[in-house]
Amino acid sequence: MRNLHTLNVAAHNTADDLWVSFLGKVCDLSPLMTRYRGDILLLPIMEFAGKDIGSWFDPETKDILKHVDPLTNCVRYYTPRGRFVHVPPGGPCSDWDSDTGQPWWRDPGYEVGLLTAKARWIRVVNTLTSQEQQLEVCSEETLAEILQRYLRYNGHAHSYTWKHNGAILDMSRTLVQNNVPDNDRELEQLRLDRDLYVPSILLHFNDDLTEA
């Protein structure tokens, strides 16, 4: 499953195209929005379109947070933003359909990727043309996946050898696995500008030009 940046999630922020992230995964709830279109129980979800809703969940049980209802002394789902789709009502309700199947937050059918644990910047330099492009990538991505991101800037990127500090990079491995360290934390501790220390990946042109 692909790794996604928070910006990828944020781009899907409408009722017809709605993504959220929680517990390290990213879900496309657009089908849910279509299925329950017009239902007031969609409002809390719409409020957080394109955002992380991890605070709604218990990281151990992977379920919605629960609390003891002070009025009934019963354990209920804790939904301070209001009850939403697939959350049962706090008491007897004649229009509640208990046969909803698996709730959306447990349904893998909505999952489209994993939320990156850490995003980082790299500088990709084409040594043939001297063109330079800064990319924000997911730390879990392999160089092959980063290459796919870079194709929008250079459709012939497959025709280059990727190097860092003179070493040819293994495209099946991540940046860290290729000894391209992520020094963001150290730079922050030293109060140094991270923009001045973005690692560079040098692209060296090969003889055979791959068709874009």
Q: 58-72 pLDDT, tens per residue?
A: 999 999 999 998 888
Question: Can you give the residue ranges of every domain in the chain?
Answer: 3-115, 119-205
Fold of the CATH domain 119-205: Ubiquitin-like (UB roll) (3.10.20)
Q: What is the pTM of this model?
A: 0.76
Q: Which residue has the tokens 């497959």?
A: 158
- pLDDT at residue 32, rounded to an integer: 97
Q: Which CATH architecture has domain 3-115?
A: Roll (3.10)
31 within 8 A of 21, measured Cβ to Cβ: no
- What tokens appear for 141 in the block? 């991505």
Put the strands of the sheet holding 17-22 in their side by side order.
3-4, 111-115, 25-28, 17-22, 13-14
- pLDDT at residue 129, rounded to an integer: 94
Each residue's pLDDT, cut to its tens digit, for the chain (212 residues) gives 889 999 899 999 999 999 999 999 999 999 999 999 999 999 999 999 999 999 999 999 999 999 998 888 888 999 999 999 999 887 666 566 666 789 999 999 999 999 999 999 999 999 999 999 999 999 999 999 999 999 999 999 999 999 999 999 999 999 999 999 998 888 888 888 888 889 999 999 997 555 44
- pLDDT at residue 207, rounded to an integer: 73
175 within 8 A of 120, measured Cβ to Cβ: yes
Neighbours of 2 (CB within 10 A): 14
Pairing of strands 63-64, 57-58: antiparallel
- pLDDT at residue 173, rounded to an integer: 97
